[in-house]
Amino acid sequence: MRIALYQPEIAGNVGAILRTAACLGVAVDLIEPMGFAWDDRRVARAGMDYIDHVAITRHADWSTFVAQAAGSRVILLTTRGATALHASRFAADDILLFGQEGAGVPEAVHARADARVVIPMAPPLRSLNLSVSVAIVAAEALRQTGGWP
């Protein structure tokens, strides 16, 4: 299982996600361009010393990521998801794709996704912090696939 971040904008979120991924034993794909320099110290501060314990792959753009993701299902987490998280079924080789903090993903990315999943929440609220969303979804996917470390 992998976590993929589409053009993330906030260094602190990426650092927190890398820390979560390290603890869960899940690899991370970063799809560029990102809204900050990779060497931004906010990434390191949020990730602490856990960053050295996660497999990170940086992709120059969406096309590069898609080419390398061939053979795996890409599960897009989106507020416009067709299936609620609790009704979704995950596989051990799925890629859990999350969009930008402010804009999500463009239509072409929605179209490429093999499934679109939403985290249900109380109305009228519509979204959680990116790093919180990643943790919730990764935990459920790992629970279903027996992938907890």
Q: Has residue 21 got a pLDDT over 90? A: yes
**pTM for this model (two decimals):** 0.95
What single-letter DSSP state applies at residue 92?
Answer: T
DSSP 6-20: ES---HHHHHHHHHH
CATH code: domain of residue 33: 3.40.1280.10
Q: Has residue 36 got a pLDDT over 70? A: yes
What single-letter DSSP state applies at residue 29?
Answer: E
> What total number of domains does the chain contain?
1
The closest alpha carbon to 16, from 7, 1, 28, belongs to: 28
* Contacts of residue 105, Cβ cutoff 8 Å, sequence gap at least 6: 6, 76, 78, 97, 99
Q: What is the pLDDT of residues 72-108, one digit of tens each?
A: 999 999 999 989 999 999 999 999 999 999 999 999 9
The CA-CA-CA angle for residues 77, 82, 86, to 5°, reads: 70
The whole-number pLDDT of residue 40 equals 64
The whole-number pLDDT of residue 38 equals 84
Residue 51 belongs to domain spanning: 2-145
Q: Has residue 42 got a pLDDT over 80? A: no
The whole-number pLDDT of residue 41 equals 75
